Structure 1
């Protein structure tokens, strides 16, 4: 290791020992142990920035997949996460429409009135959804075109209120209707694969090929290099 680099990263107490070691009569083994300890610390200090530079994450990211249950968007995200070996744990609400409607009546007994029946199911489902939303690092909310997604809108608002990182997913045709919801999102995606790309980037720092293909122009070339220093 170059002497200048050693001087930069070696702990101050270690550097102060070097001249004294030369004049000391202490056993060589003791000097070697002290040097080894200092170099170990220096190696760690040098390695840490390098590890950070290359991105990556040792944590497991908890991602809650909320929203419509009538298409395969969850499976597509799960497949993309698996193919890229991302450290992600995917969670979701109960995706069986019939089970989520009837769970309260099945477990606690039927009701004569529809509002009471619905309330039993809704509050029971809320045990799961509230717990997973609170535990999530990232919340992905999918809005479908076929059904009005009241639950999805509620969970998107809940996520923002709890300061969760929100990603919305929907067809371009819904952009106007969801503009207020999207204003609270940190990313707005049109395809499930884009969600995987977002997760890949924020976790590992990897970027996909530009969505605009050969038409993509970096911002420095398209709009200039930013404000000049005052």
Structure 2
């Protein structure tokens, strides 16, 4: 059995690459997909495809359309979604992606530090599993694949 896992969450560090490497080292049959990890490309994709926009609001709107398309397609194909909430950044996209996964009926592994227990308590109750580290999320996937 091979799993397709959508990795939702902030794109400002290399947590996805670390997770991919650890899964590969363990020989886990997992394909990972997620948002565009090149932040500049993500912000510019609307204008690259739709052309120059009249201002920053329209530029962001055009980029959001395409990034939301990417997210919806890969999330619909995913067997499971991992949503990572970190301490450092505001996590609006992570919250929206986690809510979308729940709405789609996708199994959700929520990764959040203990310090975010209270603000994420309702979301945590809707996830299948809530853990504090990416390694714990990977352990959960390994267990599923046993």
**SS of structure 2 residue aligned to 1:65:** strand
Partner of residue 108, structure 2: 166
**SS of structure 1 residue aligned to 2:145:** helix
- Structure 1 CA distance, aligned partners of 2:117 and 2:92? 16
Between Structure 1 and Structure 2, which shows a larger proportion of strand residues? 2
TM score, norm. by length of structure 2 = 0.94
Deviation at 1:71, TM superposition (A): 2.0
| 2:121 aligned with 1:179 | yes
Partner of residue 202, structure 1: 144
Q: How does 1:1-230 map to 2 (within 5 A)?
A: 59-204=1-146
Q: How many residues are aligned here?
A: 146
Greater CA radius of gyration, 1 or 2? 1
Deviation at 1:176, TM superposition (A): 0.8
Higher relative contact order (CA 8 A, sep 6+): 2
- Structure 2 CA distance, aligned partners of 1:134 and 1:114? 30
Gaps of 5+ in 1: 1-58, 205-230
**SS of structure 1 residue aligned to 2:101:** helix
- Structure 2 CA distance, aligned partners of 1:173 and 1:94? 27
Is contact 1:63–1:91 with CA below 8 Å preserved after alignment?
Answer: yes
Deviation at 1:168, TM superposition (A): 0.8
Is contact 1:166–1:187 with CA below 8 Å preserved after alignment?
Answer: yes
Gaps of 5+ in 2: none
Deviation at 1:106, TM superposition (A): 2.3
Deviation at 1:86, TM superposition (A): 1.1
- Structure 1 CA distance, aligned partners of 2:46 and 2:132? 34
Deviation at 1:140, TM superposition (A): 0.2
Deviations 1:183-228 (A, max 9, x none): 1111111111111110111111xxxxxxxxxxxxxxxxxxxxxxxx
Stretch moving more, 86-95 or 75-84: 75-84
Query: Which aligned segments of 4 or more residues in structure 1 are displaced greater than 6 angstroms?
Result: none
Deviations 1:4-46 (A, max 9, x none): xxxxxxxxxxxxxxxxxxxxxxxxxxxxxxxxxxxxxxxxxxx
Question: What's the Cα RMSD here?
Answer: 1.1
TM score, norm. by length of structure 1 = 0.61
Deviation at 1:107, TM superposition (A): 2.4
